[in-house]
């Protein structure tokens, strides 16, 4: 990517060309400036508070002092539940939509439409649903389990869309050769198609994790506020983004730790995004499948 | 970049493992030290007022260190949520950050601390005092410029609280206002958002928990508390009962508390938590 | 393209089992939206049963404690903030993708793309926090009070910009190289070639990007709650504070009981309807294209 620029383009100097160049550079500079300001602000205020102790210690004095150890663990557990549920359902749906359903069939069409809508449902509405369904109707209460399941609902459309693209990108000849060899479709799927679709599955996965880890609104009503080290999935656990929200909005003198927690979250995202683009690039060079 | 990300993940993973180890191995060790008080066990669910939530969570931690088999779960919400959850049995204990109403006499209420509601302005605002009538006029939109109350020529930004907040109810009750009559320019959620809004706007007027404001003032945040009814707004005047807008902070139960809930309520009302209460900038009840 | 065109029937038992499992997974995934809608309606029913739905538009104000449930100002708030931010973010995002592909030197394009990718994942709380302590006071200096529709539009613009920028970037990458070579051979200058050849070729990808960013703009909650002022009113200028439907739910849900709570679920239903309408519109427009 990025190598597709065409240097052969004629760079005639007329006023409209000059204007276009100024506009494009101006927009890029503006975007960079705004975001450097934002990131610089977080870095400037947060960096001095980050230490090994901050990452591991429990919060003290309502989060003004101490660290974010239990909160990182809760966040990881919520993510774990989310992925454990959304991965099998997501991959299964993607396989069905890409391999076994024609684009015109009613089942495929209905499922795809409903996923399109789900992708757009505001997170706060998903949160309301999670509270009413997982916490109340299923009786899970404020818990890591409820939070993870709610996030799974949000992540599914991203995961399915990306995985489906991966399956569609596998050349039809793979399937035809497998069929002519008399392989069952299950075998074809597990040994041929799935490995080929793994890179785009991973990209979808990482995008989903990014969305889930940044979520605040849906978690307030489902995974709750307790900042203790969780002992089971039925315990309530505070996610990192909720911790930032509470420190900056409800706890006087919480700003320093709010900045530091934001920085941790940004670094986590940086790591996840880095993994995503690395996997995407790696996947491009690895189209040959070994059984 | 991947390399640093990898290192970071190793650290996170390491910390998680370390924590699991500590929580599994550390627990029996500390339990041994306190065999005498180990008979209480179980989980206590407490929900309600966001003002009280940080305080009760801290008291809960103190309680957990006393009784190692007990877990105290605090969920934030509002006073009305605390009342409703306690009534329906969804929570063992509810938190209510105001005086109990007549229709709530079916619940058993236990005061744990006091708090005042103070008017705050930006530090650069030359106005030093406002009478109750002036505040009512500002909040109902009859006075819209600071020059009418002795300040500079600038439009007043009125900061109000969102519906359902106890701070709002206490404020409206003292000034005998209806929320429909209030003409606000900004509506906020929690206390700290109010402070940040006033800090960001030299011409704003707001009201927040006095403890919050006093702490921020002491940290050099550019706000000031106005006296109300001629009494300085401070935790001290709330303590001695002279400050007019104050509220008791309650925890409530549906039935007379027994066992674990009773032990917690006794602990929350004991002198042992006074330091915790002061740390969270509330006023302990007089002995 | 239908990959299932290979005419193998499902004669293996394992194939039949697999198909059942896949149908199960897809049914769950497809049912979530229906479940969400069902629960919203279920929770909204208590208030819809004794209050005519019309009252959500004709009441004098939103004061649920006093039995007044007007949603229209918040609907306007949501729509205006969305429209404003989409109008600013779309050209900015497309320009920034064009910059990446055709203007920036290689050494600059890559880090620039990384930056945008990072911004796509930063949580709304962080944007809101920054908006509250940096942006809002700045606007307050220009025109008090500060928390306003403008602050909301700007913060939303920053938040949805990565979405459109990345989508535009991906669709520009898909424009075949020879289109540009052809344009160059005709002697078209760079700007004209991009305007006349590249952007029309990338139209459908750009369109998807706009739909996605619009969805995000409607659904954004926490940042909007922190910078918009949250006064329930139909704004008469961009310096007036507003409250969006999402902020309304986040602000009052934890405090709401009975009819008030049910009315907030009605706000949720309204949001859901907007998203469904957006999806249908997108479908309709892209079908008209074909």
Residue A262 in contact with residue A42, Cβ under 8 Å? Answer: yes
**C173 and C35: one domain?**
no
What gap in Å lies between CA A53 and CA C263, rounded to an integer? 45
Residue C88's pLDDT band, with cuts at 50, 70 and 90, is very high
Which class for C30: exposed (0-12), middle (13-18), buried (19 or more C-beta within 10 A)? buried
**C233 and C139: one domain?**
yes
Q: Hey, of B183, B197, B199, B221, which one would you mutate to test binding to chain C, going by the most C CBs within 10 A of its CB?
A: B197
**C242 and C266: one domain?**
yes
pLDDT above 70 (res C285): yes
Tokens linked to B97: 């950050």
What gap in Å lies between CA A274 and CA A262, rounded to an integer? 18
The overall longest dimension of chain C from CA atoms, in Å, is 74
**C73 and C216: one domain?**
yes
Tens-binned pLDDT, residue by residue, of chain A (291 aa): 444 444 444 455 678 888 888 888 998 899 899 888 888 988 898 898 888 989 988 888 878 888 899 999 999 999 999 999 999 999 999 999 888 877 678 888 889 889 989 988 999 999 989 988 998 889 888 899 999 999 999 999 988 988 888 888 788 888 888 888 888 888 888 888 888 788 778 878 877 888 888 888 889 889 888 888 888 888 889 999 999 888 888 887 888 899 999 899 888 888 887 777 777 676 554 544 443
Within 10 A of C259 (CB to CB), how many other CB atoms are there?
A: 16
A201 vs C: CB within 8 A? no
**C84 and C33: one domain?**
no
A88 vs C: CB within 8 A? yes
pLDDT for A13 equals 63
Tokens linked to A266: 């940004």
pLDDT for C25 equals 92
**C232 and C144: one domain?**
yes
CATH superfamily assigned to domain A52-290? MetI-like (1.10.3720.10)
**C43 and C63: one domain?**
no
Place of tokens 């007022």: B49
**C125 and C263: one domain?**
yes
What does each C-alpha distance from A199 to A80, A204, B92, B194, C67 come to in angstroms?
20, 9, 49, 47, 54
A164 vs B: CB within 8 A? no
Q: Hey, of A77, A146, A213, A252, which one would you mutate to test binding to chain B, going by the most B CBs within 10 A of its CB?
A: A252
Which class for A164: exposed (0-12), middle (13-18), buried (19 or more C-beta within 10 A)? buried
Tokens linked to A241: 């983004």
What gap in Å lies between CA B218 and CA B108, rounded to an integer? 37
Chain C residues with CB inside 8 Å of A5's CB?
Answer: 101-102, 106
A163 vs C: CB within 8 A? no
**DSSP state for residue B76 in the 8-state scheme:** E
Give this complex's ipTM: 0.83
User: Is B81 in contact with C257 (Cβ distance < 8 A)?
Assistant: yes
Tokens linked to C235: 């704004």
Place of tokens 């899970």: A140
> For residue A38, what is the nearest residue in chain C, using CA coordinates?
C130
Query: Residue C163 belongs to what domain range?
Result: 57-289
Q: Which residues of chain B have pLDDT under 50?
A: 1-37
Distance, first Cα to last Cα, chain A: 29
**C150 and C256: one domain?**
yes
Which of B9, B16, B73 lies closest to A73 in CB terms?
B16
**C168 and C276: one domain?**
yes
Which of A69, A225, A228 lies closest to B75 in CB terms?
A225
Number of domains in chain C: 2
pLDDT tens digit string along A213-239? 888 888 988 988 888 888 888 888 999
What gap in Å lies between CA A204 and CA A193, rounded to an integer? 17
Specify the length of chain A in residues. Answer: 291
Cα–Cα–Cα angle for A206, A209, A210, nearest 5°? 90
**C39 and C62: one domain?**
no
Place of tokens 């006091």: B114
Alpha-helical (H) ranges within C228-257 are 245-252
What does each C-alpha distance from A185 to A161, A163, C11 come to in angstroms?
22, 18, 9
Chain B residues with CB inside 8 Å of C242's CB?
Answer: none
**C30 and C82: one domain?**
no
Q: Which residues contact C220 (CB under 8 A, 6 or more apart)?
A: A122, C124, C156, C159, C160, C246
Tokens linked to B254: 């549906």
């Amino acid at each position: 990517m990025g190598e597709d620029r065409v240097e052969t383009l004629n760079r005639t100097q007329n006023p409209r060309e000059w204007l276009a160049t100024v506009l494009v550079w101006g927009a890029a500079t503006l975007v960079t400036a705004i975001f450097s300001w934002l990131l610089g602000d977080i870095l400037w205020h947060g960096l001095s508070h980050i230490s090994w102790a901050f990452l591991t210690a429990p919060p003290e004095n309502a989060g003004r002092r101490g660290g974010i150890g239990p909160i990182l663990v809760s966040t990881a557990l919520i993510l774990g539940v989310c992925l454990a549920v959304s991965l099998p359902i997501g991959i299964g749906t993607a396989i069905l939509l890409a391999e076994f359903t024609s684009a015109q069939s009613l089942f495929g069409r209905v499922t795809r439409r409903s996923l399109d809508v789900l992708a757009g449902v505001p997170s706060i509405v998903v949160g309301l649903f999670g509270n009413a369904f997982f916490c109340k109707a299923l009786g899970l209460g404020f818990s890591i389990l409820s939070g993870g399941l709610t996030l799974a609902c949000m992540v599914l459309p991203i995961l399915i869309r990306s995985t489906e693209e991966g399956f569609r990108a596998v050349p039809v000849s793979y399937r035809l050769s497998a069929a002519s060899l008399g392989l069952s479709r299950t075998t074809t799927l597990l040994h041929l198609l799935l490995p080929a679709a793994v890179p785009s599955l991973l990209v979808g996965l990482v995008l989903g994790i990014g969305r889930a880890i940044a979520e605040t609104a849906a978690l307030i009503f489902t995974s709750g506020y307790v900042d203790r080290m969780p002992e089971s999935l039925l315990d309530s656990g505070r996610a990192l983004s909720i911790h930032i929200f509470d420190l900056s909005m409800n706890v006087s003198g919480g700003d320093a730790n709010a900045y530091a927690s934001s920085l941790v979250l940004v670094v986590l995202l940086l790591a996840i995004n880095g993994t995503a683009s690395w996997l995407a690039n790696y996947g491009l060079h690895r189209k040959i499948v070994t059984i | 970049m991947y390399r640093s990300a990898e290192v970071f993940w190793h650290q996170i993973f390491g910390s998680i493992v370390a924590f699991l180890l500590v929580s599994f191995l550390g627990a029996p060790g500390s339990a041994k030290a306190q065999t005498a008080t180990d008979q209480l066990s179980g989980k206590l669910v407490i929900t309600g007022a966001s003002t009280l939530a940080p305080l009760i969570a801290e008291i809960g931690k103190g309680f957990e260190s006393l009784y190692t088999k007990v877990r105290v779960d605090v969920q934030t919400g509002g006073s009305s949520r605390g009342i409703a959850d306690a009534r329906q049995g969804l929570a063992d204990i509810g938190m209510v950050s105001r005086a109990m109403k007549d229709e709530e006499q079916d619940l058993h209420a236990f005061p744990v601390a006091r708090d005042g509601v103070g008017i705050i302005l930006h530090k650069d605002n030359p106005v030093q005092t406002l009478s109750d009538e002036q505040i009512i006029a500002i909040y109902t939109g009859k006075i819209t410029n600071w020059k009418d109350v002795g300040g500079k020529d600038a439009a007043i930004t009125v900061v109000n609280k969102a519906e359902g907040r106890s701070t709002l109810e206490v404020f409206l009750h003292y000034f005998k206002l209806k929320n429909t009559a209030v003409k606000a320019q900004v509506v906020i959620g929690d206390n700290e958002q109010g402070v940040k809004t006033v800090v960001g706007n030299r011409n704003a007027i707001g009201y927040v928990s006095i403890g919050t404001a006093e702490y921020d003032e002491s940290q050099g945040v550019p706000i000031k508390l106005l006296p109300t009814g001629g009494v300085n707004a401070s935790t001290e005047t709330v303590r001695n009962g002279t400050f007019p807008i104050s509220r008791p902070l309650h925890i409530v139960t549906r039935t007379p508390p027994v066992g674990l809930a009773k032990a917690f309520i006794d602990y929350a009302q004991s002198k042992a938590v006074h330091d915790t209460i002061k740390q969270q900038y509330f006023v302990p009840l007089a002995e | 393209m239908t990959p299932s065109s290979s005419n193998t029937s499902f004669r293996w038992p394992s194939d039949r089992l697999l198909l059942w499992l896949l149908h199960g997974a897809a049914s769950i995934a497809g049912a979530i939206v229906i479940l969400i809608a069902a629960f919203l309606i279920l929770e909204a029913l208590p208030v819809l049963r004794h209050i005519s739905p019309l009252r959500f538009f004709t009441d004098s104000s939103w004061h649920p404690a006093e039995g007044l449930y007007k949603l229209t100002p918040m609907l306007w708030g949501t729509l205006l903030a969305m429209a404003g931010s989409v109008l600013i973010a779309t050209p900015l995002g497309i320009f920034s993708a064009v910059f990446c592909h055709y203007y920036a030197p290689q050494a600059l394009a890559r880090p620039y793309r990384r930056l945008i990718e990072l911004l796509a994942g930063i949580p709304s709380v962080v944007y809101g926090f920054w908006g509250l302590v940096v942006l809002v006071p700045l606007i307050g200096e220009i025109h008090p009070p500060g928390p306003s529709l403008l602050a909301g539009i700007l913060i939303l613009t920053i938040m949805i910009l990565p979405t459109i920028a990345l989508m535009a970037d991906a669709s520009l990458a898909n424009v075949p190289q020879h289109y540009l070579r052809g344009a160059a051979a005709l002697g078209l200058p760079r700007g004209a070639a991009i305007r006349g050849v590249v952007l029309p070729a990338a139209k459908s990808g750009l369109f998807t990007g706009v739909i996605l960013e619009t969805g995000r703009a409607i659904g954004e909650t926490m940042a909007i709650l922190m910078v918009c002022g949250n006064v329930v009113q139909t704004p008469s200028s961009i310096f007036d504070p507003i409250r969006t439907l999402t902020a309304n739910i986040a602000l009052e849900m934890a405090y709401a009981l009975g009819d008030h709570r049910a009315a907030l679920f009605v706000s949720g239903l309204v949001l859901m309807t907007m998203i469904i309408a957006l999806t249908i519109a997108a479908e309709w427009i892209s079908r008209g294209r074909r």
